Amino acid sequence: MLPSQLRSRTLQPARWLIFRQLLTLAIVLLLNGCGMGGKNAPQMATIGFAFVSNSGSGTVSAFAVDSSGSLSLISGAPFPAGAGAEFLAFDSVHKFLFVSNQNANTVSAFSVNTGTGGLTAVPGSPFATGARPTGIAVDPLGRFVFVANQAADSISVFSIGANGSLSPAAGSPFTASNPFGLAVNAAGTVLFANNFPDSSISDLNSVSSFQIGANGTLSPIAGSPFPTSSTAGFASSIGLAIDPAGKFLLVGDHMSQAIVPFNIASTGALTPVSALPAPAPACSVSCHNNPLRLAVHPNDQFVYATNVQAGTVSIFKMTNGVLSSIADVPTGQHPFGVALDPAAGFLFVVNKVDNTISGYSVNSSTGTLSPLRGSPFSGSLNAPTDIVVIARQ
């Protein structure tokens, strides 16, 4: 055998091995590029967590939010709360999550692991409230939890303990008129409550303002309650939100088909920004089109409202408290709660009937929404009604 032939036979196995390695690498890269890499595919970083109340199962679902806005159910979720879990409030000071359970007449309290999204019930949870607790709010200083007892005509006030346990404030509960939604101003000095009566016809159609005392006591502010419609009639003030600058209170009335903006005085008194809407003369399916729940962009320029019957989320431009329509974007069936992530890059809407979460990327310059890849998201949801999104820490 010639020396050249010997060298050729010796090199062939090595060349074949290199060829096989290159072929394998090419296949792996191709699969990952097509999104088929499974566990070997690149993973987006978790930037926060979304918590969702499930009125159907009395639980709270918890999702990791990655840098693309995608949601994935975290380990251990859903977490037990109480029957008819409805509204959520997050204490950003102490990292506690509170849930109003309207069918159990209680509030559930959880300690939040802001690194994993896990929830742990605090000692003594759940805590008794008045009849049919709905709206819930935490003052920005992390001192008190406020709960609207719609069927008891009262608002319960709780002091927050170091471990998240709740104890009634002196004088609690305080008299109110069918309170439903709640909001606290940034200074923690004023509480707003929209009045949503049980009866189908009422002359309430109003928002009440309360001064918050140093120990959590509530005192009606002069002039309260403030009308939200021009005349008495069929109305239901449900949505409630304060703009980031603290200048305006926005009231969503889905029977009057309107969002009613108010100027907030330094005293907490309210004056309408524009003419008040007329309530619907009677209720039919159309009464439930606009709006239900509200969210305000941190740049103070855009407002988002879920429209329960229409299956949309409305986008409004806000200028000095005046709202002008930008667009209506499709959601799932019966959209309820709506929330922006802390960086306001994404907006999420929970859909009560089809048990999903619609996710959108937010254009901070125009306020417009674009559906996220993979939306709508699902996982352990059962008649979801509210959503809170927090940053990972």
The percentage of residues in the chain with a pLDDT greater than 90, rounded to a whole number, is 74
**Are residue 81 and residue 18 in the same domain, yes or no?**
no
Flag whether pLDDT at 119 surpasses 90.
yes
Model confidence pLDDT, tens digit, residues 5-62: 434 444 454 454 444 555 444 443 443 443 333 334 356 899 999 999 999 999 999 9
Looking at residue 7, its pLDDT comes to 42
Domain count within the chain? 2
**Are residue 313 and residue 330 in the same domain, yes or no?**
yes
**Are residue 221 and residue 291 in the same domain, yes or no?**
yes
Distance CA 260, CA 275 (A): 9
Looking at residue 3, its pLDDT comes to 42
Beta bridge partners of 361: 346, 370
Query: Which structural domain range is residue 22 located in?
Result: 1-40
Distance CA 165, CA 297 (A): 31
Beta bridge partners of 107: 100, 127
Model confidence pLDDT, tens digit, residues 282-340: 655 555 566 789 999 999 999 999 998 889 999 999 999 999 999 999 999 999 999 99
Beta bridge partners of 145: 138, 158
Which pLDDT band, with edges at 50, 70 and 90, does 257 fall under?
Answer: confident
Enter the tokens of residue 229: 């419609």
**Are residue 1 and residue 143 in the same domain, yes or no?**
no
**Are residue 34 and residue 123 in the same domain, yes or no?**
no
**Are residue 259 and residue 336 in the same domain, yes or no?**
yes
**Are residue 123 and residue 23 in the same domain, yes or no?**
no
**Are residue 19 and residue 99 in the same domain, yes or no?**
no
**Are residue 20 and residue 82 in the same domain, yes or no?**
no
- DSSP string covering 284-340: SGGGGSS-S-EEE-TTSSEEEEEETTTTEEEEEEEETTEEEEEEEEE-SSSEEEEEE
**Are residue 6 and residue 147 in the same domain, yes or no?**
no
| This prediction's pTM | 0.87
**Are residue 320 and residue 382 in the same domain, yes or no?**
yes
**Are residue 116 and residue 171 in the same domain, yes or no?**
yes
Domain of 213: which CATH number?
2.130.10.10
